[in-house]
Structure 1
Amino acid sequence: MNDLFQNQASSLESPAARLAGITPSDTADLAFPTRAIAVGGEGFVSLVTIAGDKGRVYVVPGAPFPIRARRVLAAGTSATDIVALA
């Protein structure tokens, strides 16, 4: 496929170019840092940001939550069908 935007610099305001399903883990980092996370089933997502901060955010389907995360924790996560967007 010919990408008409391949020569354009990507920024945090650009649309996501990658996505991957997330299996929450208390020990393993994601394959890549996120730009946002999306869920299929609403609930809390416990995470570690790329800066190392830990916290929980409430995410609803249809509204990707913009956050730079490096890990989604199993403990404290109740959302389902979590997807990383980058």
Structure 2
Amino acid sequence: MSDPFERHSPGLNAPAFGAFQISPDDTAPLTHVTRALYVGGEGNLTVTMAHGQTVTLTAVQPGMMYPLRCKQVHTTGTTASGIVGLY
């Protein structure tokens, strides 16, 4: 399949070009820093942002994409499910 944008450098406003399932973990960082997180099931989301701050987002809604550049999703404090990292 041809990709006419193959040689273009993606900006932060560009659509994601990869995705991966996230299993929250208190010790292991993600395989990629994300552009956004998709949340499939409602709950709280505790993340470490790309610059190192750890925050808890309460009552995130299912079926939403959150534009977060994260390097870790923590088990402690995360009750949301179906989390997908987009990069």
The two structures have a TM-score, normalised by structure 2, of 0.93
Match of 2:69 in 1: 68
Structure 2 residue identity aligned to 1:9: S
Match of 1:46 in 2: 46
Structure 2 residue identity aligned to 1:60: Q
Please state which structure has a larger fraction of its residues in strand: 2
Unaligned runs of 5+ in 2: none
Separation in 2, partners of 1:60, 1:3 = 33
Give RMSD over aligned pairs. 1.0
Match of 2:85 in 1: 84
Structure 2 residue identity aligned to 1:70: K
SS in 2 for 1:46: strand
Unaligned runs of 5+ in 1: none
Percentage identity across paired residues of the two chains: 38
Q: Which 4+ runs in 1 deviate beyond 2 A? A: none
SS in 1 for 2:57: strand
Aligned length: 86
